Amino acid sequence: MGLLRDRMAMDLKLRRYAPGTCTKYLDCARAFVAYHRRPPAEMGEEQVRSYLLHLIDEKQYSPATQKIHVAALRFLYDVTLARPEVMAAIPYPRVPRPLPVVLSGSEMVRLFATIESVKYRAVVLTTYGTGLRIGEVCALEVRDIDSQRGVIHIRDAKRGRDRYVMLPRRVLLALRTYWRETRPCGPALFPGQMPGSTIAPETVRRVLHEAVAAAGIDKRVTPHVLRHTFATHLHELGTDVRTIQVVLGHASIRTTERYTHISSARLRRTTSPVEVIGTVEARRLLG
């Protein structure tokens, strides 16, 4: 794509798309061009349709993956090439929304027991205890942990939004243990191996996969499953849906109009499920 790729990359950057989204969109556009072996400016709706059918019939891509390709081509034609008519009649695929995998309270206890590394134990405990996305956990800085107010400041999260989440006592104790034993340098709470870097989500996924196998849990567990589990356990413990949505940072036109941000005082009064694991109150958790 050459110059067109550079222009599309600049358009994405100007609109502050996340780096991961930029990479995916550019890859999708490159695959579209490679399939037809023609410049995008010389193609139109017919070529887009044939390419998407190719993804369905021959590549057998999932609806979610197909949706990314549609979004990428829509950006290419609507923004970079200023030809919105090309994608006007191209629909987004219907994406099934199966129920997420959720771990029980007893499974969480077994999972934590298998993680020996104080660093990764703190990472996994923070992920489950706060419901953060794994990218948000990896990007945490020391300054984000506000032990006095009992909250964690999430900066520049999805869609560029900041928010606060609760800082459970068990998470704080795990972070303090981790800090005393490792004394990480720099602003990152969980630094990576390279100076100035942060721990990679892929590394956390690998550690979690090994821990799940060691715990004998017969479920496909990813860091995002811990987020689903956090939300489910919060609901089971009686937390209202409004609080859960704000804590998780879910955003849409509907939710942003309907819900308001929760004060740090209310966050401190919200009990994280990590606080009751292994106690008598944990009987309220299913499993």
133 catalytic per annotation: yes
pLDDT tens figures, 243-259:
888 888 876 434 322 32
Q: Does domain 3-86 have CATH number 3.30.1490.190?
A: no
Instruction: Catalytic residue, from 5, 30, 119, 259: name it.
Output: 259
How much is the pLDDT for 275? 86
Instruction: Catalytic residue, from 133, 163, 170, 233: name it.
Output: 133
Looking at per-residue pLDDT, the higher value among 10 and 183 belongs to 10
What's the CA dihedral at 238, 242, 246, 252 to 10 degrees? 140
Mean pLDDT of 173-195: 92
Domain with CATH 1.10.443.10 in the chain: 105-284
Instruction: Catalytic residue, from 5, 7, 54, 224: name it.
Output: 224
| Three-class DSSP category at 285 | coil
Burial of 28 (0-12, 13-18, 19+ CB in 10 A): buried
pLDDT tens figures, 55-103:
999 889 999 999 999 999 999 999 999 999 999 999 999 988 777 788 9
Closest among 37, 36, 19, 27 to 76, alpha carbons compared: 27
pLDDT tens figures, 129-158:
999 999 999 999 999 999 999 999 998 777
Domain with CATH 1.10.150.130 in the chain: 3-86
Residue 262 has pLDDT above 80, yes or no: no
158 catalytic per annotation: yes
250 catalytic per annotation: yes
* Separation between Cα atoms, residue 210 and residue 101, nearest integer Å: 17
Name the β-bridge partners of 188. 141
Pair 26, 5: CB distance under 8 Å: yes
Q: Which residue has the tokens 């004394």?
A: 183
How much is the pLDDT for 286? 66
259 catalytic per annotation: yes
Strands (E), the chain: 145-146, 151-154, 163-166
How much is the pLDDT for 20? 86
Instruction: Catalytic residue, from 7, 54, 155, 158: name it.
Output: 158
Instruction: Catalytic residue, from 59, 242, 250, 266: name it.
Output: 250
How much is the pLDDT for 265? 46
Question: What is the pLDDT confidence band of residue 261, given thresholds at 50, 70 and 90?
Answer: very low
How much is the pLDDT for 239? 79
How much is the pLDDT for 287? 64
Q: What is the mean pLDDT of the chain?
A: 88
Q: Does domain 105-284 have CATH number 1.10.443.10?
A: yes
What is the layout of strands, in order, in the sheet containing 145-146? 145-146, 151-154, 163-166
Looking at per-residue pLDDT, the higher value among 205 and 259 belongs to 205
